[in-house]
C-alpha cells in the first residue's frame, strides 16, 4: 500500500509559538490542543460523576435528602448521561488521544490544518459552557432524559422545558461543529501526512481505531445535528417535525402531524455508531497496550484492522434495536436482531486476538496492563448481556429495567473509562516526561475495578427482578422486594466510595506532572514511532529537522536474535522485525527478519527483558 507524506522542506517555524498566549492558550500545536481537550473533558466528567453520586443518594436513601426533588433528579439523570457519553468520552478519545497520538504515531509534524484544530477546541469549550449554563437559567437544565425524546422534552411538565432544553440542543449543535472540524483534520492527516515508509498497514491499531471512529462521527453526527435543529424549531418556532397533535393541561396545542418516532430513528441512527465512536479508539489502544506490556506482536494484525472497519460499517444497520419497545413490523425486528448478532462476530474476533496475543507472552502486570486486562473482562461481560438485549422477545420485558442500566454502563461507562485510565498511565511519560506514581496507580486500579463490579453486577439482578429505571422514588412499590432496597443501599455506598476515590487519580495526575519521577524517553520499551521523538516531551514540530523513516510495523517484539526485546519502527531495516506479510514477500529468509516468535516458543530465545516503566538511569539506550 502506498505511502502518503508531505514534503519536509517547510519545517522552519511556520506555527512556532512565540508567547505564553500562543503556546498555551491560542496554541496550534496538536499536543497542547490534546491536553486542552483532555483537561476540559475530565473537568466536565467530574461534574457528571458528582451528578451520578447525587442520583445514587436518592436511589439508596429515598426521601432522606430533601434537596433532591423529582425535578432535580431527572435533570441530573439527563445531564449525567449526556456529559459522560458526548462531552467526556467522545471528546477525550477523539479530541484528546486523537489529537496527541495521530501525528506522533504516523510521523507527522502536526495536524494538516493546525488553525482549524485550534478552533475545534475552542468551539468544543463553547459547547461545554453553553451546556453548563443551563444549570443557571430559570427552571434549570432539561430533565427529559439523555435521549431527549419528544414530545415530553419540549412540553410543560418536564423540568427545564424552556431555557434548559434550548441550551442543551444549542450545545449539541455547537459540539457537532467542533467534532466535524476535528474529524476532517484527523482523516486528512492520516491519509496525507504519514512519514516515509508509514503505509496504512504499518499504522498502529490506535490510529486505525481513531481513524475509523472519526469517519463514523462524520457520518453519524449529522443525524443528531439535523434532529437538534428540528426540535429547536419545534420548541421556538412552533413547527411540528416531531410534535403530533396533542392536548396539554386540557388545552389543544398548535402542533399538528409531527412524528416522535422520527426523532427516535434520527437519534439512534447517531446513537449506535456513537457506541463505536467510543469503542473503536478503545479497541485500538487496548491492542497496542497488550502488545507492549506482553512483549509480543499483536496476533492477526490485518484481521484486527478489518474487524475495526467491518464493525464501523455494521454499526449503521443496528440502530433500531434500541427501539424494540417502540413497536415495529416483526420483520424489521428480525432484521435488527440479526444484524445485532452479526456485529458481535468481528467484535469477538478482536477479543480472541487479544487473548491469543497474551498467550505465552511475557506479561508485565504494570498499571496500564492491569487496566487493559480489566477492560477485556468488562467488555466481555457487558457484551454478553448485550446479546440478551439484542433479542426482541427478551429485550421488551427487560428494556425498562435496571438490566439495561447495568449493560449500558458496563459497555459504555466502565469499559471505555478503564481504557482511558490505562492509556493515560501508559502515555503520561511521553506527555510530561515524568512517571505517574505506581503505588497510587495500583491502588486506583483495584478500587476502581472491584468497585465498579460491585456497583453494576448487582444491577443485573435488580433488572431481572423487574426493578424499573428512571423512577425517582422506589419506596412503597409492592412488586419491588425488600432485598432490592437493601441492594440499592449497598450499591450507593460503594458508588460514593469509588466516586470519591477518583480524586486520588486526579491528585496523581497533578502531582506527578510537576513532581513525579523523571521518565526515560521510552520507559515501556515500545516499538511504535511516538516513543522515538528527539525530545521528551516532544517539542514543536515533533521530529526536529528531519522526519523519521519507517521500515516495519509497530509490533516487532521478542524477535529472535535481536539485541533488545523490541525493534523500533524507524530502526535500520537490517535489524529485522518486519511484518509477516513483508517477510512472506521476501521468501522468509531467516528468523531474525521474520515475525516475532512467541516468548518461550521454539527456536532462538528472545532477549531477556528489563522491567518496564523504569526511570531514565535504569534504561538501556534507545535506538535513535
> Average pLDDT, stretch 543-553?
94
> Domain spans of the chain?
21-243+256-515
Cis peptide before 537 (omega within 30 of 0): yes
Output 492 or 11, whichever has higher pLDDT.
492
> How far, in Å, are 32, 96, 124, 190, 199 from residue 209 at the CA level?
22, 14, 22, 12, 16
> How far, in Å, are 160, 202, 529, 564 from residue 548 at the CA level?
54, 14, 8, 20
Distance CA(52)–CA(453), nearest Å, equals: 16
| Pairing relationship of beta strands 251-252 and 247-248 according to DSSP bridges | antiparallel
Distance CA(314)–CA(317), nearest Å, equals: 6
pLDDT of residue 80: 97
Statement: residue 59 has pLDDT above 70: yes
> Average pLDDT, stretch 369-378?
98
> Average pLDDT, stretch 64-76?
95
- Residue 611 pLDDT grade (very low, low, confident, very high; cuts 50, 70, 90): low
- Residue 613 pLDDT grade (very low, low, confident, very high; cuts 50, 70, 90): low
Statement: residue 586 has pLDDT above 80: no
> Average pLDDT, stretch 525-529?
96
Q: How many CA atoms lie within 13 A of 436 on its CB side?
A: 28
Instruction: Name the range with the highest mean pLDDT among 16-25, 325-334, 541-550.
Output: 541-550
Specify the 3-state DSSP secondary structure of 252.
Answer: strand
Distance CA(479)–CA(394), nearest Å, equals: 20
Distance CA(584)–CA(254), nearest Å, equals: 70
Statement: residue 526 has pLDDT above 80: yes
- Residue 191 pLDDT grade (very low, low, confident, very high; cuts 50, 70, 90): very high
pLDDT of residue 250: 83
Statement: residue 40 has pLDDT above 80: yes
Statement: residue 598 has pLDDT above 60: no
Nearest residue to 416 via CA among 205, 275, 210: 275
> Average pLDDT, stretch 605-610?
47
Q: What is the pLDDT of residues 266-312, one digit of tens each?
A: 999 999 999 999 999 999 999 999 999 999 999 999 999 999 999 99
Residue pair 212/312 in contact by the 8 Å Cβ criterion? yes
> Average pLDDT, stretch 70-81?
97
Q: Which three cell numbers stand for residue 158?
A: 418536564
What is the rounded average pLDDT for all residues in the chain? 90
pTM: 0.92
> Average pLDDT, stretch 42-52?
97
Please give the CATH architecture assigned to the domain spanning 21-243+256-515: Up-down Bundle (1.20)
Q: What percentage of the chain exceeds 90 in pLDDT?
A: 81
Angle, helix 438-465 to helix 482-515, in steps of 10 degrees: 160
- Residue 621 pLDDT grade (very low, low, confident, very high; cuts 50, 70, 90): very low
pLDDT of residue 11: 55
pLDDT of residue 317: 94
- Residue 381 pLDDT grade (very low, low, confident, very high; cuts 50, 70, 90): very high
Q: What is the DSSP string of 479-529?
A: TS-HHHHHHHHHHHHHHHHHHHHHHHHHHHHHHHHHHSPBBPSSTT---SG
Statement: residue 608 has pLDDT above 70: no
Residue pair 348/306 in contact by the 8 Å Cβ criterion? no
- The single-letter DSSP state of residue 91 is I
Amino acid at each position: 500500500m502506498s505511502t502518503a507524506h508531505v514534503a519536509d522542506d517547510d519545517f522552519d517555524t511556520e506555527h512556532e509559538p512565540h508567547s505564553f498566549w500562543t503556546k498555551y492558550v491560542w496554541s496550534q500545536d496538536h499536543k497542547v490542543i490534546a491536553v486542552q481537550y483532555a483537561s476540559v473533558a475530565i473537568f466536565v466528567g467530574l461534574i457528571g460523576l458528582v451528578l451520578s453520586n447525587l442520583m445514587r443518594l436518592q436511589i439508596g436513601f429515598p426521601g432522606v435528602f430533601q434537596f433532591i426533588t423529582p425535578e432535580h433528579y431527572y435533570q441530573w439523570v439527563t445531564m449525567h448521561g449526556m456529559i459522560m457519553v458526548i462531552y467526556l468520552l467522545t471528546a477525550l478519545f477523539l479530541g484528546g488521544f486523537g489529537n496527541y497520538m495521530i501525528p506522533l504515531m504516523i510521523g507527522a509534524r502536526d495536524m494538516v490544518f493546525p488553525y482549524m484544530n485550534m478552533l475545534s477546541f475552542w468551539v468544543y469549550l463553547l459547547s461545554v459552557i453553553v451546556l453548563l449554563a443551563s444549570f443557571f437559567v430559570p427552571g434549570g437544565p432539561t430533565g427529559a432524559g439523555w435521549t431527549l425524546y419528544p414530545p415530553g422534552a419540549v412540553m410543560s411538565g418536564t423540568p427545564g422545558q424552556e431555557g434548559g432544553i434550548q441550551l442543551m440542543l444549542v450545545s449539541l449543535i455547537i459540539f457537532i461543529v467542533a467534532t466535524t472540524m476535528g474529524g476532517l483534520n484527523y482523516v486528512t492527516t492520516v491519509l496525507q501526512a504519514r512519514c516515509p515508509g508509514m503505509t496504512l498497514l504499518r499504522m498502529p491499531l490506535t490510529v486505525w481505531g481513531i481513524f475509523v471512529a472519526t469517519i463514523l462521527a462524520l457520518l453519524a453526527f449529522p443525524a443528531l445535528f439535523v434532529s437538534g435543529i428540528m426540535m429547536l424549531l419545534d420548541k421556538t418556532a412552533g413547527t411540528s417535525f416531531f410534535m403530533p397533535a396533542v392536548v396539554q393541561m386540557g388545552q389543544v396545542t398548535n402542533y399538528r402531524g409531527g412524528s416522535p418516532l422520527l426523532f427516535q430513528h434520527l437519534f439512534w441512527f447517531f446513537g449506535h455508531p456513537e457506541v463505536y465512536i467510543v469503542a473503536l479508539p478503545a479497541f485500538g489502544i487496548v491492542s497496542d497496550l497488550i502488545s507492549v506490556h506482553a512483549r509480543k506482536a499483536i496476533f492477526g494484525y490485518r484481521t484486527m484492522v478489518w474487524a475495526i472497519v467491518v464493525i464501523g460499517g455494521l454499526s449503521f444497520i443496528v440502530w433500531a434495536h434500541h427501539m424494540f419497545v417502540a413497536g415495529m413490523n416483526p420483520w424489521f425486528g428480525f432484521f435488527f436482531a440479526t444484524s445485532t448478532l452479526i456485529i458481535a462476530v468481528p467484535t469477538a474476533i478482536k477479543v480472541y486476538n487479544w487473548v491469543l496475543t497474551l498467550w505465552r507472552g511475557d506479561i508485565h502486570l504494570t498499571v496500564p496492563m492491569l487496566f487493559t486486562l480489566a477492560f477485556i473482562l468488562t467488555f466481555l461481560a457487558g457484551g454478553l448481556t448485550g446479546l440478551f438485549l439484542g433479542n426482541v422477545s427478551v429485550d421488551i420485558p427487560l428494556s425498562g429495567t435496571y438490566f439495561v442500566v447495568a449493560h449500558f454502563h458496563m459497555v459504555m461507562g466502565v469499559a471505555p473509562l478503564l481504557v482511558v485510565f490505562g492509556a493515560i498511565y501508559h502515555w503520561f511519560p511521553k506527555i510530561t516526561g515524568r512517571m505517574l506514581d505506581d503505588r497510587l496507580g495500583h491502588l486506583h486500579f483495584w478500587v476502581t475495578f472491584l468497585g465498579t463490579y460491585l456497583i453494576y453486577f448487582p444491577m443485573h439482578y435488580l433488572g431481572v427482578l423487574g426493578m424499573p429505571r428512571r423512577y425517582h422514588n422506589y419506596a412503597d412499590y409492592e412488586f419491588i422486594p425488600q432485598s432490592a432496597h437493601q441492594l440499592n443501599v449497598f450499591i450507593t455506598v460503594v458508588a460514593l466510595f469509588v466516586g470519591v476515590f477518583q480524586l486520588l487519580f486526579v491528585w496523581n495526575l497533578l502531582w506527578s506532572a510537576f513532581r513525579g519521577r523523571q521518565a526515560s524517553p521510552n520507559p515501556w520499551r515500545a516499538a511504535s514511532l511516538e516513543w522515538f521523538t528527539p525530545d521528551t516531551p516532544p517539542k514543536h514540530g515533533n521530529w526536529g529537522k528531519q522526519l523519521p523513516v519507517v521500515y516495519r510495523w509497530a509490533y516487532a517484539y521478542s524477535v529472535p536474535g535481536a539485541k533488545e526485546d523490541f525493534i523500533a519502527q524507524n530502526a535500520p531495516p537490517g535489524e529485522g522485525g518486519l511484518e509477516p506479510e513483508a517477510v512472506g514477500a521476501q521468501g522468509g529468509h531467516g528468523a531474525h527478519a521474520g515475525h516475532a516468535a512467541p516468548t518461550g516458543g521454539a527456536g532462538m530465545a528472545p532477549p531477556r527483558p528489563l522491567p518496564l516503566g523504569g526511570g531514565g538511569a535504569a534504561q538501556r539506550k534507545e535506538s535513535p
